[in-house]
Chains A and B, each alone.
Chain A
Amino acid sequence: MNGVDVSLPILRLTNIRKTLPTGRRLLEIDELSVHAGHCLLLTGPNGVGKTTLLKILSGLDPADHALVDYGGTRLLWPAARRRFRRDVIYLHQQAYLFDRSVTDNITYGLHGLGLSYAQIGERVQRALEWSGLSHLAGRNARELSGGEKQRIALVRALVLTPHVLLLDEPFAGLDEESRERTGFLIRRLKSEQVGVVVTSHELLPLAGIADEHLELCEGRLVRPAKTVQRASTTRRLRDAELHGHAAYLNTRAGDEAN
């Protein structure tokens, strides 16, 4: 992902329209852009369509209409979804891990990429070390705590080197420590030029992470009156936190391994 022009959006959707089977117009968005290395925070009340919007962005749910600019090509939504594969990854509010080992979960998306077993193993090893989760490699994913599942799901997405990551309420139901660790991973993803879109009811964990804040209101995206602190204004604090968390995680991983 090196050499990405951050001034241009990686993914841009225009004229997003979605109507529910009941006839209610859920989404009527003129434009939504995702930039490399930027984090877009989406807020809004329950049932307003945040999850549906993320699923449309990821290609999982169909839009009634949407024009997609992706990889220098303008496409209609149905054609664009095939281009999204592995590049735009959606993570559920409660991460879903397959009923198999943590390692098998992480390798899932890597099969079919033409990588050798050695290359897959190396990538997984690197990602586990990167995230400080190596000690969980052999465990069955279903036995993990909510916070661990969330972070494994992030790592599973990360090994695919996605361009865009869509996180649906990644802090919901997590304790303070898990929130910090998840926030740390999101920062790291940004630093690797991944474009991140996050929906969240909680603004505090995203202070210093989100670069832009939009609110979904009656199907449209608006700038909210109360916004999360911008990342650019807290850069120093963020860098300091990054180093602090890395040291913390290394110590923590060492403790747990013992």
Chain B
Amino acid sequence: MEENLGHASLYALRLLLSGDPDLWNIIGVSFSVSVRAILISAPAAMVLAFLLAYARFPARLPLISTLQSLQSIPTVVVGLLVYMLLSRRGLFGDLHLLFTQTAMVIGQIVIAFLFVVPMAHGVLAAADRRAWETARTLGAAPWRAMFTVMTELRFGLLAVAIAAFARIITEVGTSIMVGGNIESVTRNIPTAIALETSKGEFAQGIALGLVLLVLALLLNVFLGMLQGKGEMR
């Protein structure tokens, strides 16, 4: 087994370095879907987080509690809900989005949104309120004052967005349910690892696992640098 694992790892490295088209297509799908999802969901989630932290409205506290509870929702449950909405008999069945990259993007948007709102709310609620008051007293309109506060907290908020990206690019539940794991179309890194492992083909699974590990390492280094920068100020 150990010998097999060693061989598989070497073969995986060779696949990666030789530019194997199938492997790099899978990596491309993963990044394409997750980058789109985070770019759409993070700004919207941060605006909602800001409103929860700075605006005062009746349902604010129950809404915060609900969103905090949903932060750790299993991705497979999100996949199930999106599947129900996009399936033929679902509310958006006529759009024929099931088993497309768009469906995967929608699923990951939901996951990232539910992850970012409570995390960003924590960052914003703990921030120095003088930033908001100073912007307002200097005549900034609410939207500009909000943007100013977010700029002041850019390191913390970017760290939240990066953590959310790490969560969605590694999730398998939603991708496999609404993407369908179709080769060259919706097969991303986690679904490919699941498939190759079930077939006993470890090399490609290990190669893809290495990509995720390197990505996790790079994101962590980047996060560490951001935190260092944030602490210096």
Contact = CB atoms under 8 A, between A and B. Distances in A.
Interface string B120-155: 000000001011011111111100100010011000
Nearest to B135: A108
Given A96-B128, A98-B148, A98-B152, A160 B139 contact: yes
Interface stretch (A29-37, A83-91, A221-229): A83-91
B89 interface: no
A142 B137 contact: no
A160 B138 CA distance: 8
A109 interface: yes
A99 interface: yes
Contact of A108 (B130, B138, B141): B138
A60 interface: yes
Interface string B197-233: 0000000000000000000000000000000000001
A127 interface: no
A98 B150 CA distance: 11
A112 B145 CA distance: 13
Contact of A156 (B138, B141, B148, B151): B138
A89 B138 contact: yes
A98 to B, nearest CB: 6
A90 B233 contact: no
B233 A92 contact: no
A58 interface: yes
A157 B139 CA distance: 10
B115 to A, nearest CB: 26
Nearest to B152: A99
A163 to B, nearest CB: 13
A89 B136 CA distance: 9
A59 B152 CA distance: 23
Given A92-B130, A99-B233, A142-B233, A60 B137 contact: yes
A6 to B, nearest CB: 24
A158 B134 CA distance: 14
Given A98-B148, A99-B152, A99-B233, A112 B139 contact: yes
Contact of B138 (A94, A99, A142, A157): A157
Interface size on B, as a range, is 10 to 19
Nearest to B128: A96
Contacts of A88: 137
Contact of A92 (B133, B138, B140, B144): B133
Nearest to A88: B137
A60 B130 CA distance: 11
B48 to A, nearest CB: 23
Given A96-B128, A108-B138, A160-B139, A90 B133 contact: yes
A90 B139 CA distance: 11
Contacts of A142: 233
A60 B131 contact: no
A96 B131 contact: yes
Nearest to B230: A99
Given A98-B148, A99-B233, A142-B233, A86 B134 contact: no
Interface of A: 55, 58-60, 85-86, 88-90, 92, 94, 96, 98-99, 108-109, 112-113, 142, 156-157, 160
21 contacts: A60-B133, A60-B136, A60-B137, A88-B137, A89-B138, A92-B130, A92-B133, A92-B134, A96-B133, A96-B134, A98-B131, A98-B134, A98-B148, A98-B151, A108-B135, A108-B140, A109-B138, A109-B140, A112-B139, A112-B140, A112-B141
Given A92-B130, A96-B134, 4 more contacts: A60-B137, A94-B130, A98-B152, A112-B139
